[in-house]
Amino acid sequence: MRVRSILGMLAAVLVTILAGGAEAFAAEPIKIGGLFAITGPASFLGEPERNTAQMVVDEINAAGGVKGRKLQLIAYDTQGDSTKAKQLVNKLIKNDKVVAIIGPSTTGDTMAVIGDVERAEIPLISCAAGSKITEPVKKWVFKTAQNDGLAVAKIFDYLNRKKIAKVAILTVSDGFGSSGREQLKANAAKFGIQIVVDDTYNPKDTDMTPQLTKIRSSQAQAIICWGTNPGPAVVARNVKQLGIKLPVFMSHGVSSKKFIELAGDAAEGIILPSGRVIVSDVLPHQDKQKKSLMAFVKDYQKHYKVEGDHFGGHAWDAIMLLKGAIERGGDTPAAIRDALEKTTNFPGIGGVFNFSRTDHAGLTKDAFVLVEVKKRDWSLVRQAGIE
Amino acid sequence: MPIFDQLTQYLFSGLATGAIYALIGLGFAIIYNATGIINFAQGEFVMLGGMFTLSLLGGAGLPLGGAVPVAIILTTVVGMVFERLAIRPLKSATPLSLVIITIGGSILIRGIAMLGWDKDTHSLPGFSGDEPIEMFGASLMPQHLWIFVVTIFVIGCSKLFFNYTVSGKAMRACSYNSRAASLIGIDVRRMVLFSFIISSAMGSLAGIIIAPLTMTAYDVGIMLGLKGFCAAIIGGMSSGFGTVLGGLLLGILESLGAGLISSGYKDAIAFVILLLILFIRPQGLFKKAETERV
pLDDT bin (cut points 50, 70, 90) of residue B175 is: confident
Q: Do B139 and A229 touch (CB under 8 A)?
A: no
Q: What is the pLDDT of residue A9?
A: 57
With cut-offs at 50, 70 and 90, classify the pLDDT of residue A384: very low
Q: CATH class for domain A149-274+368-380?
A: alpha beta
Of the candidate ranges B113-117, B261-265, B270-274, the one whose mean pLDDT is the lowest: B261-265
For residues B253-279, average pLDDT: 80
Contact: B141, A266; criterion CB under 8 Å:
no
Spatial separation of the C-alpha atoms in residues B201 and B255, rounded to whole Å: 28
**Within chain A, where are the H helices?**
2-25, 43-62, 82-90, 107-120, 148-161, 175-188, 209-216, 231-241, 257-263, 290-304, 310-328, 333-341
SS3 A369: strand
Residue A132 distance to chain B (closest CA, Å):
24
Distance from CA of A204 to the nearest CA of B (A): 7
Min Cα distance A303 → chain B (Å) is 19
Name which of B184, B165, B164, B161 is nearest B174 in CA terms: B184
Is there a cis peptide before residue B95, judged by omega within 30 degrees of 0? no
Examine the pLDDT at A21 and tell me if it is beyond 50.
no
Q: Averaged over B126-132, what is the pLDDT?
A: 79
pLDDT at A22 (0 to 100): 46
- Taking 80 as the threshold, does the pLDDT of residue A251 lie above it? yes
Does residue A387 register a pLDDT over 50? no
Q: Which residues of A touch B264 (CB under 8 A)?
A: 173, 200, 202
Chain B positions in Cβ-Cβ contact with residue A44 (cut-off 8 Å)? 119
pLDDT of residue A103: 83
For residue A353, what is the enclosing H or E element? Answer: strand A352-353
What mean pLDDT do residues B108-129 have?
84
Higher pLDDT, B284 or B18: B18
Is 90 exceeded by the pLDDT of residue A118? yes
Which residue in the set B210, B215, B267 is minimally distant from A262, CB to CB?
B215
Average pLDDT on B5-34 reads 85
CA–CA distance, A338 with A99 (Å, rounded to integer): 13
Which residues of chain A does B256 touch, with a Cβ-Cβ cutoff of 8 Å?
210
**pLDDT at residue B73 above 70?**
yes
Contact A228, A179 (CB under 8 A): no
Q: What is the pLDDT of residue B33?
A: 78
CB-based contacts of A217: which residues, under 8 Å, 6+ apart?
Answer: B1, B3, B6
- Identify any residues that bridge with A249 across adjacent strands, giving them in sequence order: A224, A271
Contact A210 B259 (CB under 8 A): yes
pLDDT in tens, B20-42: 899 899 888 888 877 777 888 88
Residue A52's identity, in one-letter code, is T
- Which stretch of DSSP H or E encloses residue B77? helix B64-82
- B111 has a pLDDT exceeding 70: yes
Under CATH, to which class is A28-146+290-355 assigned?
Answer: alpha beta
Q: Which residues of chain B does A43 touch, with a Cβ-Cβ cutoff of 8 Å?
A: 119
Which of B215, B219, B254, B260 to mutate to test binding with chain A, by most A CBs within 10 Å of its CB?
B215
Taking the model in full, what pTM does it have?
0.77
**Which one of B139, B252, B260, B269 would you mutate to disrupt binding with A, by most A Cβ within 10 Å of its Cβ?**
B139
pLDDT of residue A23: 44
| Polymer length of chain B | 294
Of all helices (H) and strands (E), which one includes residue A143? Answer: strand A141-143
**Binning pLDDT at 50, 70 and 90, where does residue B128 land?**
confident
Q: Is B13's CB within 8 Å of A209's CB?
A: yes
Q: Scanning every residue of chain A, which has its alpha carbon at the shortest distance from the alpha carbon of B1?
A: A217
B10 close to A (CB below 8 A): yes
Sheet holding A124-126, edge to edge: A71-77, A30-36, A100-102, A124-126, A141-143
Q: Which one, of B251, B254, B252, lies nearest residue B269 by Cα?
A: B254
Mean residue pLDDT across chain B: 83
Phi and psi torsions of A167, nearest 5°: -130, 155
Q: Nearest-CA distance from B1 to chain A in Å? A: 5
Express each pLDDT in A122-154 by its tens digit. Answer: 999 999 888 888 888 999 999 999 888 888 988
Cis peptide, bond prior to residue A203, ω within 30 of zero: no
Average pLDDT over residues B241-253: 87
Q: Is B256 on the interface with A (CB under 8 A)?
A: yes
Q: What percent of chain B has pLDDT over 70?
A: 95
Mean pLDDT of B267-281: 80
Q: Do B10 and A210 touch (CB under 8 A)?
A: yes
C-alpha distances in Å from residue B48, one per residue of A211, B77, B106, B110: 29, 11, 11, 9
Please judge whether A210 and B255 are an interchain contact, meaning their C-beta atoms are less than 8 angstroms apart. Answer: yes
B16 vs chain A: nearest CA distance in angstroms? 10
C-alpha distances in angstroms, B38 versus A84, A192, B85, B248?
A: 34, 55, 17, 21
Which one of A206, A217, A243 has the shortest CB-CB distance to B213? A206
* CA–CA distance, B273 with A242 (Å, rounded to integer): 29
Record: contact A213-B266, CB cut-off 8 A: no
Question: At residue A13, does pLDDT exceed 60?
Answer: no
CATH 3.40.50.2300 in chain A, residue ranges: 28-146+290-355, 149-274+368-380
Q: Do B262 and A207 touch (CB under 8 A)?
A: no
> What's the one-letter identity of residue A165?
A
The span from the CA of A84 to the CA of A101, in Å, is 15
Nearest CA in chain A to B256: A210
Instruction: Give the separation between CA A194 and CA A198, rounded to whole angstroms.
Output: 10
CA distance A29 to A84: 26
Minimum Cα–Cα distance from A261: chain B residue = B123
pLDDT at residue B87 is higher than 70: yes
pLDDT band at A100, cuts 50/70/90?
A: very high
The residue extents of the domains of chain B are: 29-219
Residue B239 has pLDDT above 90, yes or no: no
User: Is residue B19 pLDDT above 70, yes or no?
Assistant: yes
Q: Which residues of B are less than 8 Å from A243 in CB distance?
A: 132, 139
Cβ contact, residue pair B255, A242, below 8 Å: no
What mean pLDDT comes out for the span B208-228? Answer: 87
Confirm or reject contact between B214 and chain A (CB < 8 A).
yes
Cβ–Cβ pairs < 8 A, chains A and B: 90
d(C-alpha A255, C-alpha A258), whole Å: 8
Compute the mean pLDDT over every residue in chain A, rounded to the nearest whole number: 86
What is the reported pLDDT for A24?
A: 43
Q: Do B214 and A234 touch (CB under 8 A)?
A: yes
Question: Which residues have C-beta within 8 Å of that of residue A244, sequence separation ≥ 6?
Answer: A212, A215, A216, A223
- Res A4: pLDDT: 59
Is B119 within 8 Å of chain A by CB?
A: yes
Interface of B with A in 124-153 (CB under 8 A): 130, 132, 139-141
What is the value of ipTM here, to two decimals? 0.76
> Could you tell me which residue, A27 or B142, shows the higher pLDDT?
B142
In this prediction, residue A6 has a pLDDT band, given cuts at 50, 70 and 90, of low
State residue B98's pLDDT score.
82
Judge: B130–A265 Cβ closer than 8 Å, yes or no: yes
Using a CB-CB distance cutoff of 8 angstroms, which residues of chain A are in contact with residue B123? 233, 261-264
Q: Return d(Cα B109, Cα A342) in angstroms, integer.
A: 51
Confidence of residue B78 (pLDDT cuts 50, 70, 90): very high
Instruction: Give me the residue from B119, B258, B267 closest to A210, CB to CB.
Output: B258
Q: Which residues of A touch B255 (CB under 8 A)?
A: 207, 209-210
Q: Is the predicted pLDDT of residue B105 greater than 60, yes or no?
A: yes
Q: Which residue of B has its CA nearest to A207?
A: B214
Nearest Cα to B234, choosing from B220, B248, B254, B252? B248
Residue A207 to residue B16, Cβ atoms within 8 A: yes
pLDDT tens, position by position, A319-352: 999 999 999 988 899 999 999 999 999 998 988 9
- Tens digit of pLDDT for each residue in A23-71? 444 578 999 999 999 987 788 889 999 999 999 999 999 998 898 899 9
